Amino acid sequence: MLNKNQELQLTITDLSYEGMGVAHTDEGMTLFVDNALPGEVVTAKILKLKKGFGFAKTVSIETKSPDRVEMSSNKWAQTGIAPLAHLTYAKQLEFKTKQVKTLVEKNKLDIDVLETIASPNELGYRNKAQVPVRQVKRQLEVGFFRKRSHDLVVMEDFLIQDPKIDNTIKGVREILRQYGITGYDERNHRGQVKNIIVRRGYFTGEIMVVLVCLDKKFKHLPEIADEIHQLEEVKSVYLNHNPQKTNVIMGKKNRLLAGNSYITDKIGDQTFMISPQSFFQINSSQTPTLYQKAVEMAELNQDDEVLDTYSGIGTIGLSVAKEVKSVTGVEVVKSAVEDAKNNATLNHITNSEFFLGKSEEYMNHWAEEGKQATVVIADPPRKGVTSEFIQSTAKIAPRKVIYISCNPATLMRDIKEFEEYGYTTKTIQPVDMFPMTQHVECVTVLEKN
């Protein structure tokens, strides 16, 4: 029998899809161990036990893996910001490829999984940060939550965020402290600032700061906004009002406090406006490769009529607009659709349209209407697309479906369903958008048989 808090020696045989070491005990239990790599023998302490499996953390490492990278701080592991940072980058890429291959085999699919394409930047690649703000020992602090908890681990160096963003966060923290602003207290639902969100255009250096606050207004807000606006590179300062007791970071309402209502960044030679609530790919050094791979695999031509579903601010559709006949986008976030329309104008694109709504509903509507499309791009969130989406796509009958996925598990499910409608793929190309984390991005092109 194993008990909580018990320490025991474990031989790590594998890495889970979440990047945890996997060990099997003599009792037939599977333990998932933080900060442990395949081939290592570690002493671990049991944190949680469930039926047949449990969680543990490494206390000491008896036999070290040659693939281990020594970290200068254990905060990144504690918070889960960078769950794979203790593994060499080459092995991280192998891990990601293997994960997709395993899923392909499990689902009995006949698909070639290509090697994961490395990110040009391995650290400091994130162009967006969302950090919690709390009171610690009566002082306003920023950091990140300890894994599986809401305890703040105070931090200044976030490892995978653009270092200029880390600097801005420090600057904002100092200003908030000067004015005696308090960080959020979850237990009593009090305090003023819940989160600081910072976005920085990788190619433009333009910074947007969003203060997520419990109240719409508080004392000294105009002066605070003004001082934040004066920080290096800051072009836009917002207050986001989130009065709810919730884990969702942003509330619905944004108020511009200082500067421009948006920042810009570039993908290739195109410029994109980004407003606070809009999605933008977070690894700017790798985004062009992700899109290029998709376009390459799709072999677009001047006769193509493209539907860009889950279009965000229109980045993919607008990137290919000049090579095709037309681009029609659909996206559920209103400000993102507005950004997409503005981005079309900004980049002199005249053959695109963007609609506000759910992709699955629009696809359904277009299928019934008999809309023509030769290529459908789908870039859904982690939960993938719906059956309704796949059915309507089949009805519209494009020659190709470009599927960009940030969750290989739902990708497999959706590929299987597409197969039922006569769409198949031969290859999946993983692209590393998120070094140091377990996340895998995949591009695949399904063709009509």
- Which residue ranges are tagged as binding site for S-adenosyl-L-methionine? 281, 310, 331, 379
Contacts (Cβ under 8 Å, ≥6 apart) of 160? 81, 82, 123, 124, 125, 126, 435, 436, 437
The interface with ligand SAH within residues 307-326 (CB under 6 A) comprises: 310-312, 315-316
Nearer to ligand SAH, 397 or 406 (CB): 406
353-378 as b/e: b if 16+ CB within 10 A: ebebebbbebbbebbeeebebbbbbb
DSSP 38: T
The interface with ligand SAH within residues 329-348 (CB under 6 A) comprises: 330-333, 336
Residues β-bridged to residue 11 = 41
Should residue 268 be labelled a site residue for ligand SAH when binding is judged by CB under 6 A? no
- Calpha distance 96→258 (Å, rounded): 42
The interface with ligand SAH within residues 139-178 (CB under 6 A) comprises: none
Query: Within the chain, what is the greatest distance between any pair of CA atoms?
Result: 68
Residue of this chain nearest to ligand SAH (CB atom):
312
What SS3 state is found at 142? Answer: strand
375's tokens = 């290529």
54-82 as b/e: b if 16+ CB within 10 A: bbbbbeebeeebebbeeeeeebbbbbbbb
Exactly one of 158, 279, 418, 423 binds ligand SAH (CB under 6 A); which one? 279
Binding mask 49-78 for ligand SAH (x = CB under 6 A): ------------------------------
Find the part of the chain contacting ligand SAH (CB under 6 A) among 79-87, 161-169, 274-282, 366-374: 274-282
Q: How many residues does the chain have?
A: 449
Nearer to ligand SAH, 166 or 339 (CB): 339
Binding-site entries: 281, 310, 331, 379
Catalytic pick among 24, 30, 406, 421: 406
Nearer to ligand SAH, 168 or 287 (CB): 287
Determine the Cα angle at 116 with ends 36 and 328, to 5°: 125
- Calpha distance 137→389 (Å, rounded): 51
Min. distance of Cβ 381 from ligand SAH in angstroms? 5
Should residue 263 be labelled a site residue for ligand SAH when binding is judged by CB under 6 A? no
406 is catalytic: yes
Nearer to ligand SAH, 315 or 444 (CB): 315
Helix residue ranges per DSSP H, 197-275: 221-229
The interface with ligand SAH within residues 365-404 (CB under 6 A) comprises: 379, 381
Where in the sequence numbering do the catalytic residues fall?
A: 406
Footprint of ligand SAH on this chain (CB under 6 A)? 279-281, 310-312, 315-316, 330-333, 336, 358-360, 379, 381
